Homo-oligomer: A and B are copies of this chain.
Amino acid sequence: MVGMPYFTDTEQLMPSALNMKRVSIKDIAAKAGVVPSTVSLVLNGKARQMRISAELEERVKKIAEEEGYMPNQTAVSLRTGRSKLLGLIVEDISNVFFASLAKIIEDKANERGFKILYCSTDNDDEKGNDLIKVLHNRGVDGFLITPSPGMQKEVSRLIAQHKPVVLMDRYFPGLSGAYVLADNYSGVADGMKHLLDKGYRNIGYVTNDLGQIQMIEREKAFTDTMGRFLEAPDQKILRLPYHVPTAEAVEMISSFLKENTDLDAVFFATNYLGIFGLESVGQLGLAVPSDLAIVCFDDHDIFRLMVPGITCVRQPIEEIATAAIDLLIRQLEEDETIGEDMHQFKLPSLVIRNST
């Protein structure tokens, strides 16, 4: 400590809680009368291997315990190149779907000693790409991403650099990386079959204009089903702009419904669209399901509690999150048996309520 008189003698004798420095490996080493590297070896379980005496091992462990020593994770990261940090990039953390994903992922990650850095892209490609760079630069060990279309290049760069990545909810068809998502096609197909079974024939479809793969697959299931089961399907599709205020979106849905009075059912492609739709239906004073039947992709508390309850296609959120984090951690641990599980589609379930 020569040349570093941070404390006066008195202060050193009575270190107040206020200026107490965090205890480092040097402090432990000093207290144990050994050198820091010895402490490191002991605390990392390499005492046996390095033939450190059992007596010393015990002493060091005891002191570390007493002093409440925790290795400075920043220093560990710098030295080892592993941060025990995972980057979670979602569309919008305040959306229930993503927030639920985030919760499950957090729990599973914590079990394995990982912490989560989260970010929302708001479906902005540039923001998403920036986030990848920033998180990468912060040394996250791996990524969980619900990418927007313009993120393909950055994502593939990560994969090329062998950074562990798992995509969720969307994927890039051309890309070899891992992904986990609901089987959107079969989900919508199930919902559509249910509507047709119930006798609905003039079915409208409300989606957004983002052109994301999962939305395209849902829409394809809609048009395919209509085409297969109806002779001359008159497909009414509304594609709402993504960045539009709630009130305006509701207005657009109302116009759509008023222009297509022959519709007897509407399929909403996401839960937030469904919620807009409910608001619109309420304003127009339409009775559900007698005037108009409703099915929605994604469940929501609202759909369960509404009277009538809203029939929906529920994504297996827990399954998706669990599979995604497992896949990511297996990549981190360089599990070679991962190949066949790289691409997972989880089956959604149809929840039939009184809106159909």
Q: Determine which of B94, B96, B115 lies in contact with A117 in the assembled complex, contact meaning CB atoms within 8 Å.
A: B115
Is A18's CB under 8 angstroms from B139's CB?
Answer: no
Residue of B nearest to A304 (CB): B279
**A interface, size bucket:** 35 or more
Q: How far is the CA of A307 from the CA of B85 in the complex (A)?
A: 45
Q: A353 CB to closest chain B CB, in angstroms? A: 12
Q: Is A183 interfacial (CB 8 A cutoff)?
A: no
A214 at the interface (CB under 8 A from B): no
Whether A160 sits at the interface, judged by CB under 8 Å, is yes
The distance in angstroms between the C-alpha atoms of A300 and B306, with both chains bound, is 13
A215 to B326, CA, bound (A): 38
Q: Is A226 an interface residue (CB 8 A)?
A: no
Residues of chain A in range 73-98 having any CB-CB distance to chain B below 8 Å: 73-75, 77-78, 83, 85, 92-96
Q: Which of A278-307 contact B (CB under 8 A)?
A: 278-279, 282, 300-302, 304-307
- The yes or no answer to A235 lying at the interface (CB within 8 A) is no
What 1/0 mask marks residues of chain A from 130 to 168 whose CB sits below 8 Å from any chain B CB?
A: 000111011100000000000000000100111000000
| B96–A102 CB distance below 8 A | no
Q: Cβ of A230 < 8 Å from any Cβ of B? A: no
In the bound complex, do residue B106 and residue A115 qualify as a contact, i.e. CB atoms below 8 Å apart? no
Chain B contacts for A139, CB-based, 8 A: 72-74
Q: Does A118 contact B (CB under 8 A)?
A: yes
Q: Do B305 and A278 have beta carbons less than 8 Å apart?
A: yes
| Nearest-neighbor residue (CB-CB) of A138 within chain B | B73
Q: Chain B residues with Cβ under 8 A from A72's Cβ?
A: 78, 137, 139
Nearest chain B residue, comparing its CB with the CB of A127: B110
Whether, in the assembled complex, A17 has its beta carbon less than 8 Å from a beta carbon of chain B, the answer is yes
> In this assembly, does A20 line the interface, its C-beta being within 8 Å of a C-beta of chain B?
yes
Q: Are A117 and B120 in contact (CB under 8 A)?
A: no
Question: A78-B78, A116-B118, A301-B302 given. 17 additional CB < 8 A pairs?
Answer: A72-B78, A72-B139, A73-B137, A74-B83, A85-B117, A93-B103, A94-B102, A106-B119, A115-B117, A116-B119, A117-B117, A118-B118, A275-B301, A275-B305, A300-B301, A305-B306, A306-B307
Q: Which 5 A-B pairs have the closest CB atoms?
A: A94-B103, A99-B99, A302-B302, A94-B99, A73-B138
